[in-house]
Chains A and B, each alone.
Chain A
Amino acid sequence: MRDTVSNLEEKAYQYRKRFLELFTALGFGHVTSAFSWAEVATVLMNEFVRFPGSDPAGAADKLVMSKGHGAGILFPIFEDLGLIGKEEMEDSLRIGGSNVSIRKCYLPGFDFYGGSLGLGLGFAAGIAKDIQLSGSEDRVYCIVGDAECYEGSIWEAAAFAGHNSLDRLIIVVDRNGLGCSDFTEHMLRLEPFEDKWKAFNWETQTIDGHDIRAIYDALDRAVSSNEAKPHCIIAETKKGKGLDYLIDRPLMHGYMPANEDIDRAFAELQHVRKGS
């Protein structure tokens, strides 16, 4: 690990805080989806993803954000990594703002809107097939929501990736247990979830998706694995993590703090941090 666990935990807090600043100003966003995978995003982007031009050996990873509603947490990370300046980000992230600036710091594969759920994994599988055919050292990471896995296209892609032994494909499923309207196990059981991926010939791990060390170890195992299989990391998370008043509450999927809730959200975020 290049950074320390405590530094990465602090980064995750700062990313959440910056997300709130950016998206409350915008007046639109999906805070619960963004926050549930904040630690995963922090570790993935700071420790694993090789940006074009950053790897001495020439590898350039791709990132497909299939769970598009959670993409907002990446924007503070883009800032932190120096891919885009603060002013440029703020000028872009407004109604009528140009998305060109933000898109230029996107990783290859990340330039499609993942909000239509179920599309990203097949796209990532196609990229992974290209990597396999080309024999390159690149990897493609794909972030999938657990409730997104109700889409049949996810399983079409899962079968394809498993059959084709797409071992350069690493997905993280944000297993926060909530869709929009209800808990996944109430509306339509996903469990036994890990077994389903195994049955499709994937290498699987289930981890605490808020534990920096566990996330790092899982990603490290996936990138180091000699198994000729795609890799699925099921990250058990809390939707809205960081804002306790949102946790385990259905119908908060499209929630973004507004008006008096904005101060409450910032205070809550700091309070939860102190308590952690």
Chain B
Amino acid sequence: MVSVRDAFFNRIYENSKKGEEILIVSADLGAPSLDAFRQVFPERFINVGIAEQNLVAVACGLAASGKKVVAYGLNPFPAIRAFDQIRCLMCELSIPLTLCALNAGLCSAEAGFTHFAIEDFAAIRTLEGVEILDPTDEGLSELLADDVGSGIHPPRFVRFDKTIRGRIYDSSELSLARGYSVLGNRAAGTCVVAFGAYLTELYQKLTETGQIRDVKLIDCYKIPFDEAGFIDEIRNCSRIVTVEENAAAGGLGSLVLEILSDHRLMLPVKRFALTHGLYDVFTSRAFIRRDQGLTVEDVMADLFSQCGGDR
């Protein structure tokens, strides 16, 4: 069992050994799973230094020239500092670049506010034609890595949460075209919409307690997802709960509310998201979740105390 980040780079390495010519452009960021690639294909590992704007620009130049390219930097810097490069190059020219960012939400919260990847989702989702991916499963990372080799995928921004490991899906359950997968009880009235670490943690907890039978859990691992299919999934639910480690403004909860509004669906929505990120004390992911009532237990309590589940 490896992290979703390492599953991605392991597959890139395997595919490279099979003959795929993939370039990795890094902003001074490595990974255990990258060591072998760097050793075997040193000319294909291009380090631009801690320069995220140049990371995106150079990677776009390479990809626009026909190379198959993965850019790799530490979130939120590739998204926030290099937003203009993403907007005017990757997005405007529809460049098939896979821009990978290590960190999603609060997984590096110990490093402080600078390393909170909590606004990148809202920022990138404003960009037309750019996909945001939050892998929750090694298999999803492998699908993405395989797609790099196609050279014809949409511009992609991938957020790797370093704490997510292992597999929760059969490969048949994953679909990059659909963009989401459904876990739990498809007939349940309460629907939880999440991605990333919350999705995996909630799934684990719900499975352990057996309460997975009482909720529908939608993993929105790709934004934008198949909206029509998503609407069909939630149309008959009585209640929706969105859970994310993003700033509430523009986050997944906002997206769900927009979709409901656009489709004139009146469903109660409870949003679990960050209301603020500025602290004058040292923090951690667990600390902030506790502070803002965003622990998995808080979510579980909300799911089952209000409605008692609605199997």
Contact = CB atoms under 8 A, between A and B. Distances in A.
Q: Do A and B come from one complex?
A: yes
Interface of A: 108-109, 111-113, 116, 118-119, 121-131, 133-134, 152-153, 156-157, 159-160, 164
B91 to A, nearest CB: 10
Given A122-B61, A157-B58, 8 more contacts: A109-B64, A116-B84, A122-B54, A122-B56, A123-B58, A129-B61, A131-B65, A160-B58
B61 A116 contact: no
B43 A129 contact: no
Given A112-B89, A116-B88, A159-B49, A153 B54 contact: yes
Interface string B282-304: 00000000000000000000000
Contacts of B93: 111-112
B57 interface: yes
A122 B60 CA distance: 9
B88 A126 contact: no
Contact of A112 (B46, B49, B88): B88
Given A133-B43, A156-B48, A160-B51, A125 B57 contact: yes
Interface string B49-79: 1010110111111111111000000000000
Given A119-B85, A156-B53, A112 B92 contact: yes
A112 B93 CA distance: 7
**For chain B, which range describes its interface: under 10, 10 to 19, 20 to 34, or 35 or more residues?**
20 to 34
A251 to B, nearest CB: 25
B61 A119 contact: no
Interface of B: 23, 43, 46, 48-49, 51, 53-54, 56-67, 84-85, 87-89, 92-93
Nearest to B48: A160
B84 A130 contact: no
Contact of B64 (A121, A123, A159): A123
Contacts of B57: 119, 121-123, 125-126, 153, 157
Contacts of A108: 64
A109 B62 CA distance: 11
A126 B85 contact: no
A123 B92 contact: no
A124 B57 CA distance: 8
A205 B43 CA distance: 31
Give the dominant DSSP class at A's interface: helix
- Among A123, A127, A159, A164, which residue has the most Cβ atoms of chain B within 10 A? A123
Contacts of B84: 116, 119
A199 to B, nearest CB: 16
* CB-CB nearest 8 A-B residue pairs: A126-B61, A122-B57, A130-B65, A156-B54, A126-B58, A156-B51, A153-B53, A127-B61
B85 to A, nearest CB: 6
B64 A122 contact: no
Contacts of A118: 53
- Among B49, B53, B59, B66, which residue has the most Cβ atoms of chain A within 10 A? B53
A139 B200 CA distance: 49
A151 B88 CA distance: 15
A130 B48 contact: no
A130 B53 contact: no
A129 B46 contact: yes
Nearest to A157: B54
A121 B85 CA distance: 11
Contacts of B61: 109, 122-130
B53 A127 contact: no
B126 to A, nearest CB: 16
Contacts of B63: 126
Contacts of B87: 116
Nearest to A153: B53
B54 to A, nearest CB: 4
Contacts of A128: 61
Contacts of B64: 108-109, 123, 126-127
